[in-house]
C-alpha cells in the first residue's frame, strides 16, 4: 500500500460550462476517501472565448502550437483554475499546505487520435506557481505517444469505485459507468475486474449546440425543451447509422465528430427531443461492443440531470435486462466524479502507476503518464 495523499482534481470538460473541483484522500489504488467538491461556472463571455479557441485550434499541427487566441486563452484558463482552487480551499477551511497534489486536466481544444494528436490547454507550471501546490498535468499525451487513443482516462477510478460498491453488495455485475458530458463514454468492469472503456457517442454537446443556436440558451435545463417535442425517426437514424457505432475498432471522439442538425431538420422542441433520444440510444448501441451485456448502468455527468435522456436510457437498457441508476443512488457524486478521478489519477501518476490500459485506450501495455510541476511553497 502506498502513502495516502490529499489531492484536488480540476476538470473543465467538453461542455465548457465551468470548472469542477473535488478533493480526495487516496493511495491511488484501493483507498479512496471522498472529500468536498464544488463547481465554478464560466460566464458567457469566457465560454465564447473557449468556442473561439476551438476554432483556432483546428489549424494546430503539433502539440506545442497555440495559434490565434490560444496562448492568451491558456493563461486566462489557468488563472481561473488557480482562483477556483483558492476559493475552494477558503470555503472549506482547508490549508494549502495540507494538499499534496493538484490533478489538472486543462481544456481539450483538439483531439485527433487517428493522428496521434491531442491538445489540452492549461499551463501546469503557472498553476503550480500561482497556488503553491505541486501539479500533475498533461496526462493524456504519453498514452497517445505510445499508440493509445488518449481517452478515456477515468476507468482506473471507476474500477476503484466499483470495487468499493461491490464489496458492499450494492451492484449487480457486470457494471458499466456512463459519463454523459459533452461526449459520452463507457467504463465496463467485468466480474474479474477486467476493464474495457471507450467513447460511446455524443452526450450533451449536440443538444447544447442546438438549443444555443435556436433558443439562445446554453443547455436544455432539466430537459424542459425536449419534453415538449417528439422524436423524429429519420433524424435519429441519421446519427445512429454513423459508421462510428458499427466499426469494431473503438475510438475516442472530438466534439466536432458529430454536427448538430440544420435548422430545416426540426423545430426547437423536436430537435432537442430527438437529440436526447440519440444520446441515450448511442450509449446502449455502443455497449454492444462490450465483452458481455451489462446488468447495471451507473450514470454520472450533466446528462443524468436530463430526465428525458434518463428515461430513454432506462427504456433501451431494460430491453437488455439492465437497470439504470444515477450515481447518487449508490452514494456517488455524479457532478464531481470526473474531478475526483483527476485527483486519483494525479496520485497514480505520482506513484508511477498505470493511467491507461489496452482495454481502455488501446495502448499496447498498461502505461502511466502526466507531467509534474513543483509548487513554489514546497
The response to whether 106 counts as a known ligand-binding position is no
- 20 is known to lie in a ligand binding site: yes
The annotation status of 201 as a binding-site residue, yes or no, is no
CA distance 324 to 377: 45
123 has binding-site annotation: no
Strands 296-300 and 175-180, how do they pair?
parallel
100 is in an annotated binding site: no
Contact 235, 274 (CB under 8 A): yes
Cell numbers describing residue 320: 437488455
First to last CA, the chain: 24
Contact 278, 236 (CB under 8 A): yes
Grid coordinates belonging to 9? 482534481
286 labeled part of a ligand binding site: no
Q: How far apart are CA 64 and CA 79, in angstroms?
A: 19
- Angle of the 233-240 helix axis to the 268-287 helix axis, nearest 10: 40
Rounded CA-CA distance 255/244 in Å is 13
* Residues whose CB is less than 8 angstroms from the CB of residue 378 and which lie 6 or more positions away in sequence, other chains included: 132, 134
Question: Is 19 labeled as ligand-binding?
Answer: yes
* Other beta carbons within 10 Å of 262: 10
HEC string of 84-151?
A: HHHHHHHHCCCCHHHCCEEEECCEEEEEEHHHCEEEEECCHHHHHHHHCCCEEECCCHHHHHCCCCCC
C-alpha cell at 233: 425517426
Q: How far is CA 32 from CA 165, 220, 240, in A?
A: 12, 33, 37
Please tell me whether 14 is known to bind a ligand: yes
Which three three-digit cell numbers place residue 130?
A: 500561482
CB atoms within 10 A of CB 264: 5
Binding residue numbers for ATP = 13-20
Binding residue numbers = 13-20
Amino acid at each position: 500500500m502506498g502513502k495516502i495523499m490529499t489531492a484536488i482534481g480540476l476538470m473543465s470538460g467538453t461542455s465548457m460550462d465551468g470548472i469542477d473541483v473535488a478533493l480526495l484522500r487516496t493511495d491511488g489504488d484501493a483507498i479512496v476517501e471522498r472529500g468536498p467538491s464544488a463547481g465554478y461556472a464560466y460566464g458567457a463571455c469566457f465560454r465564447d472565448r473557449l468556442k473561439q479557441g476551438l476554432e483556432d485550434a483546428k489549424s494546430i499541427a503539433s502539440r506545442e502550437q497555440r495559434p490565434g487566441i490560444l496562448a492568451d486563452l491558456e493563461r486566462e484558463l489557468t488563472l481561473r483554475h488557480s482562483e477556483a482552487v483558492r476559493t475552494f480551499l477558503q470555503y472549506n477551511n482547508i490549508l494549502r499546505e495540507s494538499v499534496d497534489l493538484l490533478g489538472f486536466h486543462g481544456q481539450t481544444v483538439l483531439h485527433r487520435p487517428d493522428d496521434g494528436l491531442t491538445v489540452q490547454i492549461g499551463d501546469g507550471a503557472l498553476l503550480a506557481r500561482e497556488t503553491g501546490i505541486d501539479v500533475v498535468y498533461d496526462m493524456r499525451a504519453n498514452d497517445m505517444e505510445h499508440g493509445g487513443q488518449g481517452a478515456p482516462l477515468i476507468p482506473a477510478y471507476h474500477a476503484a469505485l466499483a470495487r468499493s460498491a461491490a464489496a458492499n453488495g450494492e451492484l449487480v455485475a457486470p457494471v458499466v459507468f456512463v459519463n454523459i458530458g459533452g461526449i459520452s463514454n463507457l467504463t465496463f468492469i467485468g466480474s474479474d475486474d477486467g476493464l474495457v472503456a471507450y467513447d460511446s457517442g455524443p452526450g450533451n454537446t449536440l443538444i447544447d449546440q442546438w438549443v444555443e443556436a435556436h433558443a439562445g440558451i446554453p443547455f436544455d435545463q432539466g430537459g424542459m425543451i425536449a419534453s415538449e417535442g417528439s422524436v423524429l425517426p429519420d433524424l435519429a437514424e441519421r446519427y445512429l447509422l454513423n459508421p462510428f457505432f458499427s466499426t469494431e475498432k473503438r475510438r475516442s471522439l472530438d466534439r466536432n465528430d458529430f454536427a448538430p442538425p440544420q435548422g430545416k431538420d426540426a423545430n426547437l422542441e423536436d430537435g432537442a427531443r430527438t437529440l436526447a433520444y440519440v444520446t441515450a440510444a448511442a450509449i446502449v448501441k455502443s455497449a454492444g461492443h462490450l465483452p458481455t451485456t451489462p446488468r447495471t448502468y451507473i450514470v454520472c455527468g450533466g446528462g443524468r440531470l436530463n430526465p428525458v435522456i434518463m428515461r430513454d436510457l432506462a427504456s433501451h437498457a431494460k430491453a437488455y435486462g439492465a437497470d439504470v441508476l444515477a450515481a447518487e443512488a449508490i452514494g456517488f457524486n455524479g457532478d464531481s466524479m470526473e474531478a475526483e478521478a483527476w485527483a486519483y489519477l494525479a496520485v497514480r501518476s505520482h506513484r508511477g502507476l498505470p493511467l491507461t490500459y489496452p482495454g481502455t485506450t488501446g495502448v499496447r501495455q498498461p502505461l502511466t503518464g502526466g507531467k509534474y510541476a513543483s509548487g513554489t511553497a514546497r
